[in-house]
Chains A and B, each alone.
Chain A
Amino acid sequence: MHGRLKVKTSEEQAEAKRLEREQKLKLYQSATQTVFQKRQAGELDESVLELTSQILGANPDFATLWNCRREVLQRLEAQKSPEELAALVKTELGFLESCLRVNPKSYGTWHHRCWLLGRLPEPNWARELELCARFLEVDERNFHCWDYRRFVAAQAAVPPAEELAFTDSLITRNFSNYSSWHYRSCLLPQLHPQPDSGPQGRLPEDVLLKELELVQNAFFTDPNDQSAWFYHRWLLGRADPQDALRCLHVSRDEACLTVSFSRPVLVGPRTETLLLMVDESPLAVEWRTPDGRNWPGHVWLCDLPATSLNDQLPHHTFRVIWTAGDAQKECVLLKGHQEGWCRDSATDEQLFRCELSVEKSTVLQSELESCKELQELEPENKWCLLTIILLMRALDPLLYEKETLQYFQTLKAVDPMRAAYLDDLRSKFLLENSLLKMEYAEVRVLHLGHKDLTVLCHLEQLLLVTHLDLSHNRLRALPPALAALRCLEVLQANDNAIESLDGVTNLPRLQELSLCNNRLQQRMVLQPLASCPRLVLLNLQGNPLCQAVGTSEYLAELLPLVNSILV
């Protein structure tokens, strides 16, 4: 027909394509082979640059070839004149740009550029910033490029204010940008250094206020976008607590000194050093963890020689110095007393809430108001619900306890996929609240029954607790950290789903243990009980292992000192 173009059929096209691909593959493979041969033979010359650029130009993700190139360039650096080198670098930079156009998210290419710029005597950082801006123009979420930008900005000592303005401009375009928000979280503390805040420092109130408004704009616009909520959480977050010794406990009976730390540590000759001064003179002791495994943990203890505990003096002072943490604590054991301790109170230290100035709590209060407003509009938004809970905790965990629990219920209903996480979080908050209440009551008895707990945490805070009730929860284990409860005498954990008892180890004062209606199946899990020297009463009724033949005999053998075992 007139004017009709004759076109190859699809089979012909496919065949032509296949041949073309075959040809390409052949070229690719032979070039690769040649490069490897030359590298093996040590012929690192410009021909290798040429060959690798052919391959990398098509596939910039071939990491080994970038290594080859670096080797060649390093060798040429020694051989070439400065002018020749300058030309070489210029070509290399141009080549890198062309590779980035092929794949703007190639790890190897960006890394090679970092390496190259790092070796230049006078790198043109302004040009690199421009390059980043251009690539981020195309894809504002290219985190490879963000990484490179941070590298360039650091090298070129770009003022943080300028970089902050840059993040502003990208957030304006599209606020779903983790990299941009994250960069802000790095830049703002640099711009507004605050005394005594760690590397993750908090911000001055006015800055915080502005950031909160910005991020609020984002989550009111799109509450389902996570990036803004994450940044919001960072804004509300607090600095890492200072290293501290939280509690020091000395027991005459057990001739033992127990220390709990603000973070897990590994005490040992090559790691953290702990100095013990007894009555102002150093005493060499051996530190261990309560469970005897000596893994990093919050709680460490040591045996004391009889001389340090004798009744001849009116009192003994024990001072522990944590050299690395730059912290120490002292406690006194009075004559005639069985034990002595010194401890930071969770309530005084605001362990479970933000340390707030009056202004800041107003900020949080108004954040809470806006989130509640948003929640009314978006009753099913999980991020909003979770943020409300976090804000309430930051403001006053006890005051908002009931409300918090209601929000948890709603949250679980709208986000069933994360029910287990939410249960654990809720358990943590409830435990914290109980701990606070216990401290206010100034008792050493902790009731955690009927709280629907799924997990136990903060156990290092319970060093002094003597009676613990965990009954009627959903616990599946008594975790190893329970061994930190050095003063525990009575433990009730009836009506849970406990399968293992790893934490009931070396509890020096444990006398009564009640584990009715749990899921203990294997006799083996009872093994740790043998390490509790004072255990006299054990109730295992309602556990599967009670049905097994020979359990009583096994227990009698395992726990000869326990006089009352209910099976």
Chain B
Amino acid sequence: MADNLPSEFDVIVIGTASVNSITGLPESIIAAACSRSGQRVLHVDSRSYYGGNWASFSFSGILSWLKEYQENSDIVNEGPAWQEQILENEEAIALSRKDKTIQHVEVFCYASQDLHEEVEEAGALQKNHASVISENPTEAVHSAYLPSEDESLCIASCEMLTEQTPSSDLETALEISNVKVTGETEKHDDKTCMKSASEEETSKNVPTTEGTALQPKKTRITYSQIIKEGRRFNIDLVSKLLYSRGLLIDLLIKSNVSRYAEFKNITRILAFREGRVEQVPCSRADVFNSKQLTMVEKRMLMKFLTFCMEYEKHPDEYKAYEEITFSEYLKTQKLTPNLQYFVLHSIAMTSETASNTIDGLKATKNFLHCLGRYGNTPFLFPLYGQGELPQCFCRMCAVFGGIYCLRHSVQCLVVDKESRKCKAIIDQFGQRIISKHFLVEDSYFSENTCSHVQYRQISRSVLITDRSVLKTDSDQQISILTVPGEEPGTFAVRVIELCSSTMTCMKGTYLVHLTCTSSKTAREDLEPVVQKLFTPYTETETENEEVEKPRLLWALYFNMRDSSDVSRNSYNDLPSNVYVCSGPDSGLGNDNAVKQAETLFQLICPNEDFCPPPPNPEDIITDGDSLQSEASEASVILEANSETPKESASLGNPEEASQ
């Protein structure tokens, strides 16, 4: 409990103020890095689980999240008034309790709603989840539209009990072949993964799927099935992939955090051209096997891609074109129009106007550079969703003694008037905790602090569909598809389709994430693309199995604040030892989060190695004091509400330190 908390730390990482803010990865990495370097780290988080919106929601979890918006509740547990605690030579920076990062939430349910009132997600603790869904489900009804952005939606220290995520089905997990991210040299790594810790709990709660396993050919997926199998879903609010040679992969390997997670390779890159979805040949094997390219096209494409791999060595090939856009440059190359399309939209993943020649070449090179490290595409997806990753770093932080305080919110920062430095925080219980450095996620700041900040927006959509956008022999494909913006001024939409073996959706369904930079509301931005690729589920076509487009079972739209690229100077009156972490950007990779984490870490711990590999257990000197037990004590998780001891036990597991 709060009284157990030490009152002094080196670094305090202030987690999210509400369930809905968009935080996680950079803070988790910094916390892990500081803890690894011997800093005393306190990570306070108002939620009951790790990762903020980087955490993945089960289906009932996402319904609860929606409900928060719908009810628009603003029950703030004010706690003891902190104003009294501020001394004369101090001033306070109040932190926001309202989340303004999510807007324009709309949800649609298309699946037939043969919903018995009592149907409930297996193992779910959450009740009343169905309240979001409209009464008339066969029509597309948007039931949770939030008209104005200043209506705050979620609150600190809300007592909502979201069930433990991620849920895991070990049987399924064993069947599929997963990518272990390790340095190329260490191949025979023991399979340690995050899931093992929660195995016991999960196996109790998850019913056997064998009996209810869905055969999509025979059975239509109904809404009640989705509810029932809700724990199979791990729905990310942020949709990203890992570049297999990106900074995050390097960091996971270097720090050996990779052992806490498992990954799957994206299996194919798709393009949407002339109303058809087709596979983009991007690896050597793809080009070789492609039936759509002519021999000469194969050569052209391979030749161009080979050139891009080391374009810097051949300046004469592109120097003359530096001033023009990449798409213009591609026209000067020996490439047929469909090859130009593939390179521009699916490989460089840029648009007609967005990049110049150099940027395009750079992006292409990066894509190719990542290709083949773990498979035939450059991308990896973490099993159980993107939300696994912050958790992994939290775990490393805990292993090295970092203290986590869940469901614990912070009311204000205390600044010393004279030195203009922040010296402490005051938490929800009115306790003052001293520290040297303070890391605060952007969404945590109040209006006063960020009145001058200009935010961009990200449009997001999450769909549950009944089949893949491009059918192949295997129904377990993970695909990424880029749909270019149609009119000038609109942005390309990134579509990531996840199959059930990614452990993010139930068998027989696909989880589809759409992301683009906003120009309007999420629905306005994304619905045209959704309509091109999918068709709403309707009862009438039950016998017609040859429907070409996948059918929508459920759809969610929302806008999310993009606080990346915000200059520190835009925030009002920030003390120098308060560092701002931005929310996720709209980019595909995670490089920004890692870069940001490393930069901030260098400010906190100058001249320290960033997340060095953990020492070999044999090399750890255990003297009389038994450092092992010390470490395990230190890493016990403190909770304001200690009802979920298992998760904390797993993070504080002393064995981890010696592994």
Interface residues of A (CB under 8 A from B): 1-8, 12-13, 16, 172-175, 216-218, 220-223, 370, 373-374, 377-378
Contacts and interface: CB of A to CB of B under 8 A. Distances in A.
B299 A370 contact: no
B288 A221 contact: yes
A363 B299 CA distance: 21
Nearest to B286: A221
**By CB atoms of chain B within 10 A, which of A6, A370, A374 has the most?**
A6
Contact of B401 (A2, A16, A223): A2
Contacts of A5: 400, 615, 620, 627, 631
B285 A174 contact: yes
A175 B295 CA distance: 16
Contacts of A1: 38
Contact of B303 (A3, A12, A175, A377): A377
Interface in B284-306: 284-285, 287-289, 295-296, 298-300, 302-303
B621 A175 contact: no
A217 B295 contact: yes
A3 B295 contact: no
26 contacts: A1-B38, A2-B38, A2-B40, A3-B39, A5-B620, A5-B631, A6-B621, A6-B623, A6-B627, A7-B615, A7-B619, A13-B616, A172-B285, A172-B289, A173-B285, A175-B284, A218-B288, A220-B302, A221-B284, A221-B298, A222-B288, A222-B302, A223-B299, A370-B295, A373-B296, A377-B303
A174 B285 CA distance: 6
Contacts of B39: 3
Contacts of B288: 172, 175, 217-218, 221-222
A374 B620 contact: no
Contacts of A217: 288-289, 295, 298
B618 interface: yes
B296 A220 contact: yes
Contacts of A218: 288
Contacts of B303: 377-378
B40 A221 contact: no
Interface string B158-182: 0000000000000000000000000
B284 A4 contact: no
A108 to B, nearest CB: 21
A374 B299 CA distance: 8
A242 B119 CA distance: 80
A1 B35 CA distance: 11
A8 B284 contact: no
Given A7-B620, A172-B289, A370-B295, 12 more contacts: A3-B40, A3-B631, A6-B627, A7-B621, A12-B619, A13-B616, A175-B284, A216-B295, A217-B298, A220-B299, A222-B284, A377-B299
B302 A221 contact: yes
A3 B634 contact: yes
Contacts of B623: 6
B620 to A, nearest CB: 6
Contacts of B296: 220, 373, 377
A173 to B, nearest CB: 6
Contact of B619 (A8, A174, A373, A378): A8
A3 B35 contact: yes
A378 B615 contact: no
A378 B334 CA distance: 12
A367 B295 CA distance: 12
Contacts of A220: 295-296, 298-299, 302
A377 B620 contact: no
A3 B401 contact: yes
A340 to B, nearest CB: 55
B250 to A, nearest CB: 22
A14 to B, nearest CB: 11
B601 to A, nearest CB: 16
Contacts of B300: 377
A378 B299 contact: yes
Nearest to A7: B615
B542 to A, nearest CB: 37
A220 B290 CA distance: 12
A174 B376 CA distance: 10
Nearest to A10: B619
Interface in B475-512: none
Interface in B601-629: 615-616, 618-621, 623, 627
A4 B289 contact: no
A411 to B, nearest CB: 19
